[in-house]
């Protein structure tokens, strides 16, 4: 299920990679694409119109005109790509992006993830995190050029919302004809021999295996720190997309004490697909 992809864009290189990724995925899935650019109030001329997705949508702006000029040669080089609709909104970016994707009935929201230093990653007050906390639509965060994946790695924690994460990811993967690879992480018990820990799964993992019965995708169980082990699996499988459940709501926080999903979104070297919970 991938009929409408919305991609948030500004004039950065990261946003251009997000647009390219959205167009590649849309071509494979037969989806349409809408590119939305948001300007802060007071940075654009007075509104001249309105459209679906926000009461503050207007038909054009200098930033949007610049993006459209960049798109023309891109589309000429890739004639199979669908020509996207472009929309300009005025307001707080994370609010307007999430609102537009929801009201436009998007199946996926794509956002470029800017590269940050380790020190900068300690703070999660950026637009990408704010969008993920607000969005009712799955979000794909793109840190670098991302082709259509042949497989997607899904991190599951064995909780009751695991089926939600799996079902949403499966729908997107099927639209891209990609297979699923599943991973979960159990904490390593310091007072147990490693061979015993490896051979006896916890009740949580046993329940997860039961939930996945007949799913057709093998579940890999790793043990240790959750973030470190999932990142280890990303590197081991050379995953291009990591899917995680992402709790909506809440204020920005420090990554080191934030949720596992927040830490993975900022640390993973690949694209991260967040499924709203």
Where does residue 30 rank: exposed (0-12), middle (13-18), buried (19+ CB within 10 A)? Answer: exposed
When the candidates are 3.40.50.620, 3.40.50.300, 3.40.1740.10, 2.60.40.4070, the CATH number that belongs to 146-277 is 3.40.50.620
Q: Which CATH number fits domain 1-112: 3.40.50.2300, 1.20.120.10, 3.40.50.300, 3.40.50.620?
A: 3.40.50.620
The predicted-structure confidence for 222-276, as pLDDT tens digits, reads as follows 888 999 999 999 999 999 999 999 988 766 555 445 578 888 988 899 999 999 9
Query: What six digits make up the tokens of 116?
Result: 């940050």
Q: In this structure, what is the dihedral angle of CA atoms 96, 122, 160, 273, given to the nearest 10 degrees?
A: 50
Phi, psi torsion values for 241, nearest 5 degrees: -140, 130
Nearest alpha-carbon partner for 273 in 108, 151, 36, 127: 108
Residue pLDDT, tens place only, 117-159: 555 544 444 677 888 889 999 999 998 889 999 999 999 987 8
Q: Which pTM was predicted?
A: 0.86
Does residue 170 have a pLDDT over 90? Answer: yes
CA distance 275 to 169: 8
User: Taking the domains of the chain in order of start, what are their residue ranges?
Assistant: 1-112, 146-277
Q: How sure is the predictor about 194, in pLDDT bands with cuts at 50, 70 and 90?
A: low
Judge whether 1-112 and 146-277 match in fold. Answer: yes
């Amino acid at each position: 299920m991938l009929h409408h992809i919305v991609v948030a864009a500004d004039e950065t290189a990261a946003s251009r990679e997000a647009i390219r990724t959205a167009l590649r995925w849309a071509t494979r899935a037969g989806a349409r694409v809408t590119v939305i650019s948001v300007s802060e109030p007071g940075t654009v001329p007075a509104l001249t119109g309105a459209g679906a997705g926000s009461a503050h949508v207007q038909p054009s702006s200098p930033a949007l005109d610049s993006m459209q000029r960049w798109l023309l040669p891109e589309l000429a080089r890739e004639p199979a790509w669908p020509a996207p609709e472009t929309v300009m909104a005025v307001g707080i970016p994370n609010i307007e992006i999430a609102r537009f994707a929801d009201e436009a009935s998007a199946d996926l929201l794509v956002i470029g993830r800017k590269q940050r230093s380790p020190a900068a990653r300690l703070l999660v007050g950026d637009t990408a995190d704010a969008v993920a906390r607000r969005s009712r639509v799955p979000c794909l965060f793109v840190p670098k050029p991302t082709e259509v994946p042949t497989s997607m790695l899904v991190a599951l924690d064995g909780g009751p919302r695991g089926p939600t994460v799996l079902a949403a990811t499966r729908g997107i993967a099927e639209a891209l004809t990609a297979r699923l690879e599943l991973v979960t992480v159990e904490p390593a018990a310091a007072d147990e021999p490693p061979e015993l820990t490896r051979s006896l799964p916890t009740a949580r993992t046993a329940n997860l295996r039961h939930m996945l019965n007949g799913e057709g995708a093998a579940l890999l169980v790793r043990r240790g720190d959750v973030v470190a082990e999932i990142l280890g699996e990303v590197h081991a499988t050379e995953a291009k997309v990591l899917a995680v459940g992402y709790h909506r709501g809440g204020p920005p926080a420090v990554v080191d004490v934030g949720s596992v999903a927040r830490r993975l979104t900022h640390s993973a070297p690949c694209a991260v697909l967040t499924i709203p919970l």
